[in-house]
Each structure stands twice: as C-alpha cells, then as structure tokens.
C-alpha cells in the first residue's frame, strides 16, 4: 500500500514518566502518525465518508491520551497504535512518540512502532 495519511507533530500534555516529579505534572509529548490505507475511492469521490476522518481520529486520541497516565513512552505509543487500528480502513500504522527534554543533551527521546493488520503485508 502506498497511500498514506500523515499527522505530524501533534503535541499534547499528559502525565508520563517514572520519576515522582513526572507523576504530578503534565509534560509535552510529540506524536507523529502515518496511516496506511487505500485512498483511491476518496480521491475519486471527494467525500469524507470514503476516507479516514483524521479530525475525528485526532479528537479521539486527545480525549483518550490527555486523561490517561503512562509510565512509559512505549505504553503510550502502543495505545495510539491500538486507537488507530480501531479504524477499519487502516491497513498499517506507524506511530512515533517523543518526549522533548527527557534526556540531558538530547532534543528529544522517543519510540517508534509499526503494526500491520493481519492479512496485509
């Protein structure tokens, strides 16, 4: 599949981290998502019903993640993957979650996960 919907640098604040001070104060995380799906129908019909509504997906992500509490960036990335794969049109997803300032001397630290729906390559 070569069609992709890309959500870049979605920033939100949530409780994330293992240190005591991280458990009390929301921190910024930066999320990048690549949704692989067939966009040919939407390309010909010009109808939102024929594609993934990325505005609705963003809303679901924010509602879920901002009210959650994670110890690990890995767990947060896994939750985002799960929410994206709940959309039946998604054939594969790549999620990158970064935590700016988590490591002295590094701009950011993050993880990247890719999952493919069973039956797809």
Each residue's pLDDT tens digit, 59-94: 999 999 999 899 999 999 999 999 999 999 999 999
| Whole-angstrom distance, CA of residue 52 vs CA of residue 70 | 27
Q: Any idea what the Cα angle at residue 82 is, between residues 16 and 56, rounded to 5°?
A: 90
Question: pLDDT tens digits, residue range 36-54?
Answer: 999 999 999 999 999 999 9
- Counting Cβ atoms within 10 Å, is residue 76 exposed (0-12), middle (13-18) or buried (19+)? buried
Query: Would you state the structure tokens that stand for residue 86, as one six-digit string?
Result: 């709940």
Q: Over 90: is that where the pLDDT of 2 sits? A: no
Structure tokens belonging to residue 117: 């729906």
Please list the alpha-helical segments (H only) found in 1-121: 40-45, 54-66, 73-85
Model confidence at 1, in pLDDT bands (50, 70, 90)? low
Listing DSSP states for 93-110 in one string gives EEEEEEEETSSTT-SEEE
Go through the domains of the chain in sequence order and give each one's CATH number: 4-116 (3.30.1130.10)
Interatomic CA distance for residues 4 and 21, integer angstroms: 38
């Amino acid at each position: 599949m070569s069609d992709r919907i890309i959500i870049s640098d979605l920033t939100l604040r949530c409780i994330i981290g293992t240190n005591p001070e991280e458990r009390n104060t929301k921190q910024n995380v930066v999320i990048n998502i690549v949704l692989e799906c067939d966009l040919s129908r939407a390309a010909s019909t010009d109808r939102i019903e024929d594609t993934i509504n990325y505005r609705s997906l963003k809303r679901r992500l924010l509602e879920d993640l901002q009210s959650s509490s994670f110890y690990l960036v890995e767990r947060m990335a896994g939750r985002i993957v799960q929410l994206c794969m709940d959309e039946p049109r998604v054939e594969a997803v790549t999620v990158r979650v970064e935590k700016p300032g988590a490591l002295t001397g590094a701009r950011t630290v993050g993880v990247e996960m890719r999952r493919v729906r069973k039956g797809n390559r």
